[in-house]
Chains A and B, each alone.
Chain A
Amino acid sequence: MVKERKPGMQIPETLAVVALGVELFADSLREQGVKTVSTAWTPPADAREARILDMLVDLDD
């Protein structure tokens, strides 16, 4: 059986961006005509919520 070779990293010719945090950077992408979705990101309310979110990310892997 021939093992399929991974194509390696590819960079898309057309970017579609999700932005979390400083809105200035998202605005700059929009000015360049890049599809950009800004999230209503907020920090976790407390340490407990942060721990739960961290556990969910680890389960995501």
Chain B
Amino acid sequence: MPAYLKIIPATYHDSVMLMRAAGSVKKLPGVGEAGFFMGSKANKDILVQSGLGGPELAKADTGDLVLSVAADSPESAEKAFAAGLAFLSEKRAAGAGPRRERPASLAAALAADPGLNLALISVPGEHVRREALRAINRGLHVFIFSDNVPVEVEVELKAAAARRDVLCMGPDCGTGWLSGVGLGFANEVPRGRVGMVSASGTGMQEVATHLAKSGHGLSHGIGVGGRDLGDAVGGSMTFRALEFLDRDPGTDLIILVSKPPSPAVMPKLEAALVKLKKPAVVCLLGLPAAPRGGASLVYVPTLVEAARAADAALSGRAREPLELDDLTLVLANDLKRPGRALLGLYTGGTLAHEAEDILHARLGGVAYGDLDAAAAGRHALIDLGDDCFTAGRPHPMIAPETRAEWLRKLGGNPKVGVLLFDLVLGRCSHPEPLTEFLAALAETRKTNPDLAGVATVVGTLGDSQDVMRQTLLLQGAGVVVAHSNAEAALLAALLVA
């Protein structure tokens, strides 16, 4: 089908809304593919690569909306454009009221309502500085979902936030919980007495959902962004969040989750942790040798063990070990694929890193983020939430078809014996995350019939997707669902070893 293009000048829609509008148009008769994007260079490149570009594309500017469809006739294309624009118009009116009635800027919103106390920022990274700085300067806490923000901007924002005594959560902060409210990708977990500081969104989700299963809730979950404990930022937000939770009367125990800090920041972090008056559990994923803890400071190597250590400290119960239970081992008995490759397709970056650490220790080598290794049928683990997969398109937790596409491309190779993946549920994640994925798994098994599946599901019974329903869907497709991400990785390693 030929590609047709329509450019709407000076019209902005966010990438999630555009993806949904394009998805609705693909169902129309006479329409094949559809791609709706803002006219940035990166997005235009994607359209060209997917065969939906055209010579007019050069005219589109960053602030212009580009609609592109493959259709069997100009009439079908026009119908698709009209339907897409109607979808965007209806969706806008449904959520926040008509766009013309909304404040045009942060300043206008604050002028109309001075009581606003948190800015949630998810604009493209190059525009974050001015919006976040304005919010911080007006005394608002900020939660910055946007990625692709230069680290020097992060340093500037966090310094400004420290001066104003407000939170700067992120940039690249996927998840948070403040005063019982979930921000970004957040599961339905109870309010409680555990305070978390986390440099990782899905890491915090994994710990929070395991805490919820053992009856514990969160006082606050403060995301700090993945670079906070690096040299440039120096742990600015982590230290302030720890200090806040230590004096917060609603918090009894603190959990810190992060990749290991830079060597320069590690001693400062250890000093800050030792000073805490409250018990703390620390999970620095991938740290080769954790410092010695103490009676009230426990270091653990995995996310699920962070939740279990917190439960042990709060309830007095014995801490469950990290091991595969008998039932999982029995279920897995028929799935052993010795000598074949493991393919990991993750949506959660921290979950992928945790799995990599475990697999690396057991399999000797796993190519992380290496698509060529995956295509060649070697052990490989891909984080599909990485910036290189999300340029111009929504995160795979919002758009699960991304992972389905990669499964179709990589999973059909008979050298691949085990597929390992995460499924992260909760607010803002796709309402039916398995529909496309399980269809892709069935297709993949046509060329690779004995591809075994091992998964972890991050979620609670309260999540709209329902952790039990998703688990049953996976089990129905012959996938073994482990109790945690760490145990899923252990099992996957066992199957291919």
The docked-state distance in angstroms from the alpha carbon of A21 to that of B220 is: 24
Which of A22, A39, A50, A60 interacts with B105 by CB under 8 Å? A39
**Given the contacts A11-B178, A15-B117, A16-B113, A40 and B103 also touching, CB distance less than 8 Å:** yes
Can you list 21 A-B pairs, Cβ within 8 angstroms, ordered by A?
A: A11-B220, A11-B244, A15-B118, A15-B178, A17-B117, A17-B118, A20-B120, A21-B123, A23-B14, A23-B16, A25-B122, A25-B184, A28-B186, A31-B427, A37-B102, A39-B102, A40-B100, A40-B103, A43-B127, A57-B133, A61-B133
Find chain B residues with CB under 8 A from A40 CB.
99-100, 102-104
**Given the contacts A39-B106, A40-B103, A21 and B14 also touching, CB distance less than 8 Å:** yes
Find chain B residues with CB under 8 A from A18 CB.
106, 109-110, 113, 116, 118-120, 135, 140
Mostly helix, strand, loop or mixed at chain B's interface? mixed
- How many of chain B's residues have a CB under 8 angstroms from any CB in A? 69
Contact A21 B105 (CB under 8 A): no
Find chain A residues with CB under 8 A from B12 CB.
41-43
Which of B130, B131, B141, B243 interacts with A8 by CB under 8 Å? B243
Shortest Cβ gap from A25 to chain B (Å): 6
User: Could you list which residues of chain B lie within 8 angstroms of chain A, going by C-beta atoms?
Assistant: 10, 12, 14-17, 38, 62-63, 91-92, 95-97, 99-100, 102-106, 108-110, 112-113, 115-124, 127, 129-131, 133-135, 137-138, 140-141, 145-146, 160, 165-167, 178-179, 181-184, 186, 220, 240, 243-244, 247-248, 398, 427-428
The docked-state distance in angstroms from the alpha carbon of A28 to that of B112 is: 22
Chain A: number of interface residues, binned into ranges: 35 or more
Shortest Cβ gap from B183 to chain A (Å): 8
User: Could you list which residues of chain A lie within 8 angstroms of chain B, going by C-beta atoms?
Assistant: 6-32, 34, 36-45, 50, 53-54, 57, 60-61
Shortest Cβ gap from A41 to chain B (Å): 6
The docked-state distance in angstroms from the alpha carbon of A46 to that of B63 is: 8
Contact A20 B106 (CB under 8 A): yes
